Structure 1
């Protein structure tokens, strides 16, 4: 097993920077998820660990060994791809064993490892089948088996579930998580799906394209709950959570906040405006912290008026999309709550004790008292 360290790593293609000033420590045995929108550099970072992309500058270490110029075969990593990358003319047994055969491993040891991986992944009934006779989930398990038999120091996953349907994705998420915990191997998992990130990762690294991020792609690193409850910026607040956090712009005078669709309220004492905040502030509310009148109330609330734009009834819950002076605010309620009508003007309450405040000029989270 091994930890992984990025030290101010950059990746350039010609004059174009894709990754810049990436510094990230991945602990030995940790399940780290790299998440972000297209173009944020997450797959490039993964491929640099694998040795499939070169490092333009900075230092990349695996188990405290600098691997910038090390060939992929010498890095002791195994990668699971989005496309499975199985050999169609080979059986499952042959696919799983192929990498070991290339390394000239003794046949008895190969057979032992294949049987162990097959037992872990439930592949025994399929060992003599070819990939075309397998479902998508079964093919993905074969790809996992091919990685497991190598007994690597690091597992790398490049969006391995994106080709599966929703039900299979849910099952495979749990399967991969259980597998990693059982083996205790360091894992780096790339996805654009924040639900995958939240449910699988010990920690999550949120990346953004340099055009939005500025000096470094890395926006925040933390546990799923840390990112959800204490996002460091508007970017992270909007990216983590489904539906995403609603962000309103309001006027700030001292601690008094005014908004065109609100009678006004006071910023809670724990929040600290700073010199950059000026006379405006960004306020964020998670959907579960917003209610339409008649759906419940909060002890400390900010009150707004909004027009109902859309209602999503999901059975166990209802999502009401509201136009609050040109900004969308989403309210989440339980499935038995009264459902407002489209176009209706309604009173809206937001839990002020759960509000998030961001600087209007930097989009960074305002500080809080300890």
Structure 2
């Protein structure tokens, strides 16, 4: 099947998908808009009209949208390609409570906020703790996008440049089929991820790139070294996009790219600073229409320069990744999730 025909099939399938059966209103706060622990996957799992796509989720650690604008399309063409050809915004938001790597990535894969007291995942640390799990942090069993894909019979893989991501493998060992950690070596990681994409038919591949974050901490975010690192990250994203462009077996891959936080000075822990909490969110691939995510999603609110609390109508957040992935794969919302529970984040005319 060609890329164009695959795209038409996927787009038609996305248009046929019904919203999740969760009862919460999209305008209610995440505290009350969570799926129950006992909820089941959508019937879309077994439906013939489920989207014929796979998902490549990419997190560019510390990708400040200001860097993309400053560098421009010539310097970071692959990131801008996702904007210019896909559904995207450069004004999404990180988690309200913390702008740290592990807490935000845990929100990405669980669809939960951070604060345990509000039904969140409770992961507040940002280092590798060899005995830590998400379940222990939350005080209960926590489901993730990995568990939902695995339960539906799909294969998943996790690639990261930071050891702390082993928290996910410890938490969901039966749901993540392959974990590759290459500490500080983004090039080797992307080579491994590209090879895995080509040789394995996985429903979900999650890739974390850390090069921009490392440069920001060492030299300052928005420094020349940081901007060069963003260019490097763009090259790595380009390697993955080139594989999708040239390998016939990858013409069904949808890319979802976001970030955990930005950065100000040499840090990103100031959750109340725009440079820390403003991030990109981009979706590109078969069945995805070009457009601004806020224009395509009137139930979401463009926050401007503000930092909305996780109550009421929401901006696009990195935590929307979990249930966007389940939507693209024809699955129901992640049980216990709090963001996009009704799976209404649209990336096409149908979904």
One fold, TM greater than 0.5?
no
More strand by share: 1
Structure number, greater radius of gyration? 1
Structure 1 length normalisation: TM-score? 0.24
More helix by share: 2
The higher relative CO (CA closer than 8 Å, separation ≥ 6) is in 2
